[in-house]
Structure 1
Amino acid sequence: MMLGVIGLVVVGCSTQSDQPPVPDVAMSEASKSSMEVLQRGRAVYVSECARCHEAMMPQDVSEDEWHVILPGMAWNSGISSADEEAVEAYIRAVKAQ
């Protein structure tokens, strides 16, 4: 019985994605951002955020928290303002789903 419960927990955990969502047409339409901007935002998010620490899932952080986190992390990582804007568009698109 206990082994069955442990199995269900492991299977349940393994189905959750530990990667930020990949932009799709629905995200683009919901956020009114182009796929190109969203793809760039995700690429920067994954590469730059994960360079120093584990990237937080965009949907797990509130809008208010992102307004504080993103500018500071963009400054710390030295990304361009265009990349910062793309990351912000990506985060908003994920949250719009």
Structure 2
Amino acid sequence: MSRLTDLPGEVTSLVAAIVEALDLPLPSIEDGDERKHYRVQEKRVQDVTIGLSMLLRYANEMPIAEAADYVRDWTKRHPATYTPFDITQAEGKR
């Protein structure tokens, strides 16, 4: 990973993993997509919280890179399976 900040590389990697996990596209305006978006977001927030809690609790035994890997692995388990919002479709429904 390239240097994004002046933080140590493993910290930058962890922050990037968290941003990637929580940066979900907005859901479409179709029935059910908002609920699906919420569920994915909820699961990812839980996973990030668990990863960070483990890092804080086991700071002397758990490398930061392992916490970043945990967040990335669990993010893959909860993909955004809903239809993302498309402004061109929304404009046509006015």
| TM-score normalised by length of structure 2 | 0.36
Structure with the bigger percentage of helix: 1
| TM-score normalised by length of structure 1 | 0.36
